[in-house]
Amino acid sequence: MQFDKPATTNPIDQLKMVGKPIHRIDGQLKTTGRAMYAYEWHDQNTPYVYGYPVGAAIAKGRVKSIDASNAKKSTGVLAVVTTLDVGNLEKGKFNTAKLFGGAEIQHYHQAIAVVVAQTFEQARAAAALVKVDYEEEAGIFDLRAAMASAAKPDESTEPDTAVGDFEAAFKSAPVTLNESYTTPDQSHSMMEPHASIAVWDGDEVTVWTSSQMIDWWRTDLATTLGIEKEKVHLMSPFIGGGFGGKLFLRADAVLAAFGSKAVGRPVKVALPRPFVPNNTTHRPATIQRIRVGAERDGKITAIAHESWSGDLPGGGPETAVNQTRLLYAGANRMTAMRLATLDLPEGNAMRAPGEAPGLMALEIAIDEMAEKVGMDPIQFRIVNDTQVDPEHPERPFSQRNLNGCLTLGAERFGWSERPKTASRREGNWLVGMGVAAAFRNNLVIPSGARVKLDREGVVTVETDMTDIGTGSYTIIAQTAAEMMGVGIDKVAVQLGDSRFPVSAGSGGQFGANSSTSGVYAACVKLREAVASKLGFNSQDAVFENGQVRSGNRSVALADAAGDEALVGEDTMKWGDLTKTHQQSTFGAHFVEVGVDGATGETRIRRMLAVCAAGRILNPITARSQVIGAMTMGAGGALSEELAVDTRRGFFVNHDLAGYEVPVHADIPHQEVIFMDEADPMSSPMKAKGVGELGLCGVSAAIANAIYNATGIRVRHYPITLDKLIGELPDVT
Ligand code: MOS
């Protein structure tokens, strides 16, 4: 099915199933430990063994030799496969850095061997005995030092945009801001580390893994192993979080495949937690410069956003200027991205790549500008709203209700109680409120599904879509139930298997809308098959309460299927509506903080997100996405930072003791409000993404609340105590 015209009324609009607060259909499997994660898929009848990775101890250079003789003699060891043994392997197309194979080292903790042993402990102990001789080369590890050499990245990222005459307008503006902001390298730090079990059957390999994108992984694993894609079978039905860290094939799957080939049995490999930050990808650090010029009435006349980031050769920029192209009006504008070559581990997508770090800077700048023009920051944003793409004014937004989010949020949060800067005290606490706009583009990706109806009247959906904790199982079941007119209990959902039709996968907050649209398309086919079998006209057949009705004839769905199951299969493809209309999601984040007047310790007291993101398919799972994202934004604001050793070229705090993500005690009251929307431009589901929107702007809202509480403007994340303590106002 091709979606190239705005959706009209369709069976989803009944909203008997879709839009309802239905609990996760996979919830019981998870809470009872019966959901099988990648590391747990072992067939008790086939003895499996353990692989433990060895990572490079240098950031750049070559492996001269590897002496695995002691490791091979170690108790329980079955095999050691080194990067020199396998030779140069072709790199998959989605990875910037190669994962394994050959002598070249591109980054610290690049996988250079896997030790396979009877037990995990034996493999780990033997891995420590592998001796590696390196030829180390000097690398570039410091973004600030590399800024001067940063170049214009590949045109595909649209590095520069310009409209009007920014420089002239900025110069003549009566109110101006010109500031720099920085965001650090961040780690996805998902609960479940990357893990795989591989087993060969002849020249075919089956891998149970933890992947957001089955088909991308399948393609790249086949390339890396040098076999045909059809010989690779991937399974990833349950995933303990990804946040973008599992978008692309990782070393665990490659090492498990080579390990298994060497020993002729199933091998499981999990990346030890300390491998995750340096062996896999991370969100790259940015240096951002923002200039804004406005009239005294608050209207922006000039806005510029430039961003510098770094990556390995062949990599791309962190697209931190994205939202500034679309979020606020202003006749004269420019954005630019520059990319430095860094020999740190591969920088790549982490939840809301581009907008998340971009808004961390932009939404502080907007708070600063509001103060300069003497306006409330909400009013300042409202005055500068635009209903068209400001760089291409002929393109309207399909829907945009940022102003509604800001005003409703202000009312619900009690914004009118916001104190004057550094004026509210409660004992030793300085208390303040902050706000920020949320913005994230809405992407759509082709997505396929197969739907079967059997003689019991059960509808089974098969798609290689993944559920990374987001609720895919549930919203897909709701979609199929709505389309076929059955209860949720009559729907079975099978995900994450490369034998199923290729879906959008989970990423870029495109998963929910795209994958349910694919299921919609397949269900349309199945409805046609049912109608045609019964001799009904598919246009007027009504699917309701497990029955199909046409005129005065009504037949049970189960009977329609008969002994032969009926099948509908299709892929939703997307036309030009994302080109003619700018499709984005909007929101507003509100935060109240207390900052300890003596120590500078920040405690978040309340958080509210108001989201305008199309039809909400399931308010429970959507809310869960947003509160999780708000939590991530709290980490980004206050604690998360990969510390770069700029001499040796690696992230030093490579575990969850040193890389500090929020815990329950850090997050108090959170509220989420969804605006009542349905966007006919987005899909037949009229839905959009929300999982990344929830993160966008949160950290800036916290920074702005800290400013309101203390009068201290911190422009460099994370906002740790040391950045506040020297400037705290006297609270005595
Ligand atoms: Mo997302 S960073 O595309 O998983």
Walk along the chain (732 residues) in steps of 10 and give the mean pLDDT of each run.
98 98 97 95 82 98 98 98 98 96 98 98 98 98 97 92 98 98 98 97 97 98 98 98 98 98 97 97 98 98 98 97 98 98 98 98 99 98 98 97 98 98 96 98 97 97 98 98 98 98 98 98 98 91 96 94 93 97 98 97 98 98 98 98 98 97 94 98 98 98 98 98 94 66
Instruction: Answer positive or negative: Cα dihedral of 373, 726, 697, 172.
Output: positive
As a whole number of angstroms, the distance between CA 682 and CA 687 comes to: 6
Domain edges within the chain: 11-36+445-573, 47-138+191-241+246-279, 286-443+580-727
How close is the Cα of 510 to the center of ligand 1, in Å? Answer: 9
Q: What tokens does 528 get?
A: 């046609």
Helix (H), strand (E) at residue 630:
helix 619-638
Residue 350 CA, closest ligand 1 atom number? 2
Q: Which pLDDT value is given to residue 538?
A: 82
Quick check: 345 and 245 in contact, CB under 8 A?
Answer: no
Helix (H), strand (E) at residue 219:
helix 214-225
Dihedral angle, C-alpha 553, 559, 565, 571, nearest 10 °? 30
Residue 349 CA, closest ligand 1 atom number? 2
CB of 353 closer than 6 A to ligand 1?
Answer: yes
CB of 511 closer than 6 A to ligand 1?
Answer: no
Q: Which of 443, 515, 692 to mutate to test the pocket of ligand 1 (most atoms within 8 A of CB)?
A: 692
Q: Which pLDDT value is given to residue 732?
A: 63
Measuring CA to CA, which residue among 584, 152, 575, 168 is closest to residue 390?
584
Measuring CA to CA, which residue among 643, 640, 641 is closest to residue 661?
640
Measuring CA to CA, which residue among 714, 711, 712 is closest to residue 700?
714
As a whole number of angstroms, the distance between CA 455 and CA 460 comes to: 12
* Pairing state between β 447-453 and 459-462: antiparallel
Determine the residue type at 683. S
CB of 547 closer than 6 A to ligand 1?
Answer: no
Quick check: 129 and 71 in contact, CB under 8 A?
Answer: yes
How close is the Cα of 353 to the center of ligand 1, in Å? Answer: 7
CB of 351 closer than 6 A to ligand 1?
Answer: yes
As a whole number of angstroms, the distance between CA 464 and CA 450 comes to: 10
Determine the residue type at 13. D
Residue 510 CA, closest ligand 1 atom number? 3
CB of 691 closer than 6 A to ligand 1?
Answer: no
Q: Which of 213, 247, 468 to mutate to test the pocket of ligand 1 (most atoms within 8 A of CB)?
A: 247
Q: Which of 351, 466, 468 to mutate to test the pocket of ligand 1 (most atoms within 8 A of CB)?
A: 351
As a whole number of angstroms, the distance between CA 331 and CA 393 comes to: 10
Q: What tokens does 197 get?
A: 């079990």
As a whole number of angstroms, the distance between CA 50 and CA 78 comes to: 10
Quick check: 430 and 710 in contact, CB under 8 A?
Answer: yes
Q: What tokens does 704 get?
A: 């702005």
As a whole number of angstroms, the distance between CA 140 and CA 646 comes to: 8
Does domain 11-36+445-573 bear CATH number 3.30.365.10? Answer: yes
What are residue 221's phi and psi, to 5 degrees?
-70, -40
How many other CB atoms sit within 10 Å of the CB of residue 506?
A: 31
Q: What tokens does 504 get?
A: 């959008």
CB of 213 closer than 6 A to ligand 1?
Answer: no
Residue 245 CA, closest ligand 1 atom number? 4
Measuring CA to CA, which residue among 246, 256, 249, 235 is closest to residue 498?
235
As a whole number of angstroms, the distance between CA 672 and CA 675 comes to: 10
Question: DSSP per residue over 159-195, as a string?
Answer: -EEEES-HHHHHHH-SEEEEEEEEE--B----SSPPE
Residue 508 CA, closest ligand 1 atom number? 3
As a whole number of angstroms, the distance between CA 254 and CA 260 comes to: 10
Angle between helices 355-373 and 619-638 (to 10 degrees): 70
Residue 352 CA, closest ligand 1 atom number? 2
As a whole number of angstroms, the distance between CA 445 and CA 572 comes to: 8
Quick check: 381 and 395 in contact, CB under 8 A?
Answer: no
* Catalytic annotation, residues: 692
Residue 692 CA, closest ligand 1 atom number? 1
Q: What tokens does 476 get?
A: 């897909």
CB of 212 closer than 6 A to ligand 1?
Answer: yes
How close is the Cα of 351 to the center of ligand 1, in Å? Answer: 5
The CATH code of the domain at 47-138+191-241+246-279 is 3.30.365.10
What b/e readout covers 421-450, taking b as 16+ CB neighbours within 10 angstroms? bbebeeeebbbbbbbbbbbbbbbbbebbbb
Count of residues in the chain: 732
Q: What tokens does 51 get?
A: 């692989």
How close is the Cα of 201 to the center of ligand 1, in Å? Answer: 33
CB of 649 closer than 6 A to ligand 1?
Answer: no
Dihedral angle, C-alpha 399, 508, 465, 451, nearest 10 °? 10
Please report where in the chains the tokens 């913005």 appear, as a residue.
439
Instruction: Confirm whether 47-138+191-241+246-279 and 286-443+580-727 share one CATH topology.
Output: yes
Residue with CA closest to ligand 1 atom 4: 244
Residue 149 Cα distances to 311, 345, 533, angstroms: 13, 19, 67
As a whole number of angstroms, the distance between CA 448 and CA 87 comes to: 37
CB of 126 closer than 6 A to ligand 1?
Answer: no
What are the residues facing 230 on neighbouring strands?
none
Strand order in the sheet with 204-209: 77-82, 111-117, 49-55, 267-270, 195-201, 204-209, 232-235
* Residue 151: DSSP 8-state: B
This prediction's pTM: 0.98
Conformational region of residue 327, where left means phi above 0, alpha means psi within -120 to 50, and beta covers everything else: alpha
CB of 507 closer than 6 A to ligand 1?
Answer: yes
As a whole number of angstroms, the distance between CA 260 and CA 252 comes to: 12
How close is the Cα of 683 to the center of ligand 1, in Å? Answer: 20
Does the bond joining 718 to the residue before it have cis omega, within 30 degrees of 0? yes
CB of 247 closer than 6 A to ligand 1?
Answer: yes
Please report where in the chains the tokens 């993404």 appear, as a residue.
689
Quick check: 98 and 252 in contact, CB under 8 A?
Answer: no
Q: What tokens does 679 get?
A: 């966007």
CB of 239 closer than 6 A to ligand 1?
Answer: no
Quick check: 107 and 57 in contact, CB under 8 A?
Answer: no
As a whole number of angstroms, the distance between CA 612 and CA 88 comes to: 49
CB within 8 Å of 128: residues ≥ 6 apart: none
Q: Which pLDDT value is given to residue 730?
A: 81
CB within 8 Å of 40: residues ≥ 6 apart: none
What are the residues facing 333 on neighbouring strands?
163, 303
CA atoms within 13 A on the CB side of 20: 19
How close is the Cα of 19 to the center of ligand 1, in Å? Answer: 24
How close is the Cα of 696 to the center of ligand 1, in Å? Answer: 13
Q: What tokens does 352 get?
A: 């809301």
Residue 212 CA, closest ligand 1 atom number? 4
Angle between helices 251-263 and 214-225 (to 10 degrees): 50
Residue 717 Cα distances to 297, 346, 496, 505, 728, angstroms: 31, 21, 36, 31, 18
CB of 312 closer than 6 A to ligand 1?
Answer: no
What are residue 343's phi and psi, to 5 degrees?
-100, 30
As a whole number of angstroms, the distance between CA 587 and CA 657 comes to: 33
What is the fold, at CATH topology level, of the domain defined by 286-443+580-727? Aldehyde Oxidoreductase; domain 4 (3.30.365)
As a whole number of angstroms, the distance between CA 228 and CA 3 comes to: 32
How many other CB atoms sit within 10 Å of the CB of residue 27?
A: 14
How close is the Cα of 283 to the center of ligand 1, in Å? Answer: 10
Q: Which pLDDT value is given to residue 81?
A: 98
Q: Which pLDDT value is given to residue 102?
A: 98
How close is the Cα of 244 to the center of ligand 1, in Å? Answer: 4
CB of 349 closer than 6 A to ligand 1?
Answer: yes
CB of 357 closer than 6 A to ligand 1?
Answer: no
What are residue 601's phi and psi, to 5 degrees?
-70, 130
How close is the Cα of 506 to the center of ligand 1, in Å? Answer: 7
As a whole number of angstroms, the distance between CA 119 and CA 52 comes to: 10
Determine the residue type at 197. I
* Residue 504: DSSP 8-state: -
How close is the Cα of 246 to the center of ligand 1, in Å? Answer: 8
